[in-house]
Structure 1
Amino acid sequence: MSSTLQREPLGDPHLRRLVMGQGLAAVVDALFIVWLTLFVLELSEPGVATGLVLVAVALPRAALLLPAGVLVDRLGPARVMAGASWLRVAVLLALGALVTFTSPSVTTVAVLGGLLGAADAAYFPGALALLPAIVPTEKLSRVNALVQGAESGGDLVGPAVAAGAIAAVGFDATLGGITALAASAAVALSTLVRVVRRGEGAGDDAGQDADGGEQLSNARALGAGLGYAWHEPLVRGMLAAIALINLAVVGPVLVGGAVLADQRLGGAGSLGVVLSGFGVGSLAGSLMAGWRPPARRGWTVVGGVAAIGAGMAGLAAVTHVVAATAVVSLIGIGSAFLGVVVVATLQERVPEQLLGRVMSLVVLATLALDPFSYVVAGVLLPFGTTTLFLICGSAVLACAGLVAASPAIRSLR
């Protein structure tokens, strides 16, 4: 990274375009998933069709994440992220044309959804790997917090905004607005390609091994990234913690929370209130992590994992919607705070030529395990929500103990 870029304050136009572009992209994601779900429900009866389309988005994203990490390291994160952003715009334009001028089938929507999933697979690791090339090291936590805060804010207001817009102007006009936001994000992010190439020579070391050795084949490059993540205690420990937390939290909170709301909290309608607490907590956790980055990161990671575990175990005892919302807010705060700290730490410490591959593993541990988390919830729910939340909370608390026992994580500053 050039010394000029290192000295740039957060108010630098490159950083503003980065935050604006990635923030808009996060809002687009939140709005589009709601639009897509409601549109498929309009096309067909609730059930298999909705699941088919959502799976069509999720499967290519999960399957292509690791190869996309190699691509990011070969071509440079800015070029991959910008290309993925424009692919998103192209798919949204195609979908918009179909919605406006034809009556698309569920299968057609699923195919286009799969293309969006493929674009996501390249976008996410590219976006995470780009930050260290633009952002001074001391600002990484703040910028990560701003981007993640935009994502949390989009998740919080996205359902109401998307549903309200569809009711007011229809599906086609709403999708047009989402596409315009996606195009704005792509324009902002595309301006960063030349900045990174000029300041960093992005892609010059692409595909080399961790020691800067010879160019590797795609398979060997992927193997080198996986080998690095496995043999580096800090990376291995953080990835394992992220994966376990997602397995133990996502499905149990969504599926178990719905049952909990119906059985103890006054009806299924209270689930929306409880989940809004998670959104508010996530937004607060992101902003807290960026406003005052922790001096002792290792113990902060331990505390974040422990807070999530305590919140999950606490759900076993709640009997009122206010208490449940407060506990879920704690889980949201811990998850978001932990996410900012972990990502910023890896961005600072992973070698540049491996960063795309490691970030693809972070995204994989965050997104691709959701279906397995739903399976965990399904297996444990027959034993009751108390058992579900106690087991999942205990697993996360045990993870906090293992993280605290890791010298590589515990000693982080």
Structure 2
Amino acid sequence: MTRGTAARSRPREPLGDPHLRRLVVGQGLAAVVDALFLVWLTLYVLRLSEPGLTTGFVLLAVALPRAALLLPAGVLVDRLDPARVVVGASWLRVAVLLALGALVTFTSPSVPAVALLAGLLGMADAAYFPAALALLPALTPPEKLSRVNAVVQGAESTGDLVGPAVAAGVVAAAGFVVTLGGIAAIAALAAIALSTLVRVAGRGRSAGDGERPGSARALGAGLGYAWREPVVRGMLAAIAVINIAVVGPVLVGGAVLAEQRLGGAGSLGVVLSGFGAGSLAGALIAGWRPPARRGWTVAGGVAAIGAGTAGLAVVTTVAAATAVVTLVGLGSAFLGVVVVATLQERVPQHLLGRVMSLVVLATVAFDPFSYVIAGVLLPYGTTTLFLACGGVVLAGAGLVAASPVLRSLR
């Protein structure tokens, strides 16, 4: 019995396989890089210019290429194999961070120059995210997918929870150059860990599984598959509804709520920390006890998020608001693990990159619409905002529960 076989024979050790450990370490470090760099970039742009449109312009320079290239990147993942795309994107991230470090160290950079490099990082993200999700099934036995997904998402939640404080503290103590150097070093460690997986993940797989249509036809095939499969279509719709109806209200409406009812803007940080803590707990719970009846679990997770969003309409204390937002974070992370693991198990390997790119797109592309919805509803008051958006999510939970295909999913 080989060492890898022995590791896989122990069900209580989901990361007993060294390849899985390297996968989790690499993806976990990459998630920490994301959390740290976003704070670094925001603070650095604020130093270059006054707060306002300039900061939004640079952040948009990251978000637009990422959203625009996600679907073509899904085709690339299916053609080249996820491991190669993950590694290439990881080293591209390192190169961009080093270039940005050189720019900050040796020149007086302009905002457009920083935005250009930030846009390149967004391009790398567009390839990395769907490839990272598609890589997990290539290295993970089906019975361990939920646990490995939970560990990776737990690392992301931990980064979101502690990243802002760590990045801001290191910038204050050591400066922007040293902080960016540390972020680049972590990115390099992630790339090294993931680079060891290319040969292992590629065993038994031919690029694209023999499928070689043109890029447009390949993209159309992925979109067609997602639309025809009720489980895929339903889960993508649930993710999109949650992001449209929750992200903007919680961030924008939460800031107004903090000013009006919770004692000032400072309380918003406490409330949002509850979301990070809930996300970490939700991911770990989903991995520790994977649900037997996934359909009802998805419906319950969506309902918990909707109930939490609606519950913000009546909170009057920081403790109550934090508890409600913690519920939203717990439901979101739990649902994320279940949805991703389910799709990884059910989607054919040669289409997995394209479907995972749709998952990422549904997660990030609708944020601007969510902010607009929050802005339109806010003049009617935070109570109306939270009740309306929470009601939409609860209706989505009802639709999931009413679907025989989703309801019976195991």
| Band the TM-score falls in, shorter-chain normalisation | over 0.9
What pairs up with 1:2-401 in 2 under 5 angstroms? Answer: 7=8, 10-198=15-203, 200-205=204-209, 208=211, 215-401=212-398
Deviations 1:173-213 (A, max 9, x none): 00000000000000001111011122x3251516x2xxxxx
Deviation at 1:49, TM superposition (A): 1.0
Q: Secondary structure at the match of 1:243?
A: helix
Per-residue deviation, residues 21-71 of structure 1 (Å, max 9, x unmatched): 000000000000000000000111111110110000000000000000000
- Give 2:402's aligned residue: 405
SS of equivalent residue, structure 1 residue 11:
coil
User: How far apart are the structure 2 equivalents of 1:407 and 1:331?
Assistant: 26
Distance 1:31 1:145 in 2: 21
Q: What RMSD in Å do the two structures reach over aligned CA positions?
A: 1.3
SS class of match (2:300): helix
Distance 1:112 1:292, change over 3 A: same
- Give the letter for the 1:138 counterpart: E
CA distance in structure 2 between the aligned counterparts of 1:74 and 1:7, rounded to whole angstroms:
29
Read off the aligned partner of 1:292 and give its amino acid letter: R
Q: CA deviation at 1:407?
A: 1.5
Q: CA deviation at 1:10?
A: 2.3
Mapped contact 1:72–1:80 kept (Cα < 8 A) = yes
The one-letter code matched in structure 1 to 2:149 is N
| C-alpha separation in 2, matches of 1:38 and 1:282 | 25
The amino acid across from 2:341 in the alignment is A
Q: Name the aligned partner's letter for residue 23 of structure 2.
A: L
Identical-residue share of aligned pairs (%)? 81
Give the distance between the partners of 2:201 and 2:17, measured in 1 at CA: 14
The alignment covers a number of residue pairs equal to: 403
Query: 2: CA distance between counterparts of 1:5 and 1:229?
Result: 37
Distance in structure 1 (CA, Å) of the matches to 2:159 and 2:234: 30
Gaps spanning 5+ residues in structure 1: where? 209-214
Deviation digits for residues 302-358 of structure 1 (CA, Å, limit 9, x no counterpart): 110000000011000001110000000000000000000000000000010000000
The one-letter code matched in structure 2 to 1:252 is: P
CA contact (8 A) 1:5 1:134 kept: no
What CA distance in whole angstroms lies between the structure 2 residues aligned with 1:15 and 1:103? 43
Which amino acid counterpart does residue 285 of structure 1 have in structure 2? G
In the TM superposition, residue 6 of structure 1 has moved relative to its aligned partner by 10
- SS of match in other structure, 2:264: coil
Measure, in 2, the Cα distance between the counterparts of 1:100 and 1:129. 37
Q: Hey, what's the Cα distance between the residues in 2 that align with 1:54 and 1:352? A: 33
- Give me the TM-score of the superposition, normalised by structure 2: 0.97
Contact 2:146 2:287 in 1 (8 A): yes
Distance 1:171 1:38 in 2: 9
1:4 positional shift: 5.7
| 1:396 Cα deviation after fit | 0.3
Contact 2:33 2:183 in 1 (8 A): yes
Gaps of 5+ in 2: none
Offset at 1:109?
A: 0.4
Q: Which amino acid aligns with 2:186?
A: L
SS in 2 for 1:67: helix
Quick check: 1:73–1:357 contact (8 Å CA) kept in 2? yes
Code of the aligned partner of 1:83: G
Q: Secondary structure at the match of 2:313?
A: coil
Structure 1: how far apart are the matches of 2:206 and 2:249?
Answer: 41
Contact 1:5 1:136 in 2 (8 A): no
Q: Which residue of 2 aligns with 1:212?
A: none
For 1:182, what is the secondary structure of its paired residue?
Answer: helix
Q: Which runs of 4+ in 1 moved over 2 A?
A: 3-10
Determine the C-alpha separation between the residues in 1 that align with 2:239 and 2:163.
25
Contact 2:8 2:17 in 1 (8 A): no
Counterparts of 1:203 and 1:34, CA distance in 2: 37
**By how many angstroms is 1:368 displaced?**
1.1
Separation (CA, whole Å) in 1 of partners of 2:27 and 2:405: 31
Residue identity matched to 2:209: D
Measured after TM superposition, the shift of residue 19 of structure 1 is 0.2
User: Could you tell me how far apart the structure 2 residues matched to 1:403 and 1:63 are?
Assistant: 29
Secondary structure (helix, strand or coil) at the match of 1:216 reads: coil
Counterpart CA distance in 1 for 2:205 and 2:381 is 56
Whole-Å separation in 2 of the counterparts to 1:204 and 1:364? 21
| Cα distance change of structure 1 residues 406 and 158 upon mapping to structure 2, 3 Å threshold | same
Question: 1:279–1:332: 8 Å Cα contact kept in structure 2?
Answer: yes
Q: Which amino acid aligns with 2:200?
A: V
Q: What is the deviation of 1:409?
A: 1.2
